[in-house]
């Protein structure tokens, strides 16, 4: 019994020693992960040919970005909704998704990490220049516009994240002022706690109870991706 207990402890320690972080929110573990096929993993021998699927959680994205804020949560949620619209019940495929965005953003960082699409670099035969910045998609404060395209079928969806539906102007102004104060080392402990609490409340809202109009997804047919420069 004792040996079994020791073995279990060692096994659990091994699981938590890779890709671990001291996350503060238990609800992160309740967020449905994203599954995506990775053909390149099969080609190089790191994934089994009969199961070339990787599972990406919100915690995995947090390890990549170093944090889980409303922007990161919105990127994860937007990617989830876009892939569902493009693939339905099928599992998406890395290297087969092209993205255009109206501007660089933390949402786009998350999208790139999950889909494998890259801007300016990447493997020529897989994902080279699969992210394009297209300012003609519109430039308005608080609005992120992204177009996701399946390279195999040509099917496209437009995703719009409207931060203004998540934070009103008064709240946004107060948050910016408080963030600046804290980053300059002038924030009180009470202010730091309040900011953490307020931001994580928004993270949870995005992931589990998305307010209407914050993220919209619609199918499109007439968009033409600009040529990479």
Residue 172 lies in a domain: no
Task: For residue 168, count other CB atoms closer than 10 A to its CB.
Answer: 10
pLDDT digits (tens, 9 = 90+) for 97-123: 999 999 999 999 999 999 999 876 545
Residue 98 lies in a domain: yes
Task: For residue 98, count other CB atoms closer than 10 A to its CB.
Answer: 20
Measured at the alpha carbon of residue 38, what is the angle toward residues 223 and 149, in degrees to the nearest 5?
Answer: 5
DSSP state of 228: P
Residue 173 lies in a domain: no
pLDDT, position 121: 55
**Rounded Cα gap, residues 59 and 66, in angstroms:** 10
Which CATH number goes with the domain that contains 23?
A: 3.30.1330
Residue 63 lies in a domain: yes
Residue 143 lies in a domain: yes
Residue 155 lies in a domain: yes
CA dist 151 → 22, 148, 162, 225 (Å): 38, 9, 27, 12
Q: Which two tokens stand for residue 72?
A: 């990161």
Residue 111 lies in a domain: yes
Residue 27 is part of which domain span?
A: 15-163+213-220
Note the pTM of the prediction, 2 decimals. Answer: 0.86
Number of domains forming the structure of the chain = 1
**Rounded Cα gap, residues 76 and 107, in angstroms:** 8
Q: What is the dihedral of CA 84, 85, 91, 92, to 10 degrees?
A: -110
pLDDT digits (tens, 9 = 90+) for 165-221: 998 778 778 888 888 888 888 889 998 899 899 999 999 999 999 999 999 999 999
């Amino acid at each position: 019994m004792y040996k079994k207990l020791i073995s279990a402890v060692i096994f659990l320690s091994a699981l938590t020693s890779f890709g671990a972080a001291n996350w503060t929110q238990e609800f992160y573990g309740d967020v449905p992960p994203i599954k995506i096929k990775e053909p390149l993993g099969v080609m190089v021998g790191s994934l089994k040919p009969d199961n070339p699927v990787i599972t990406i959680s919100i915690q995995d994205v947090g390890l990549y970005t170093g944090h889980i804020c409303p922007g990161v949560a919105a990127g994860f949620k937007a990617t989830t909704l876009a892939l569902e619209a493009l693939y339905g019940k099928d599992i998406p495929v890395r290297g087969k998704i092209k993205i255009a965005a109206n501007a660089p953003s933390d949402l786009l960082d998350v999208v790139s990490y999950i889909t494998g699409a890259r801007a300016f670099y990447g493997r020529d035969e897989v994902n080279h220049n699969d992210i394009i910045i297209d300012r003609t998609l519109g430039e308005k404060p608080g609005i992120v516009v992204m177009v996701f395209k399946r390279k195999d079928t040509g099917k496209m969806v437009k995703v719009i994240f409207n931060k203004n539906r998540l934070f009103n102007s008064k709240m946004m102004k107060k948050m910016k002022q408080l963030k600046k104060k804290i980053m300059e080392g002038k924030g009180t402990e009470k202010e730091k706690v309040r900011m953490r609490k307020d931001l994580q409340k928004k993270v949870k809202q995005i992931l589990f109870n998305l307010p209407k109009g914050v993220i919209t997804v619609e199918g499109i047919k007439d968009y033409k991706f600009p040529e990479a420069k």
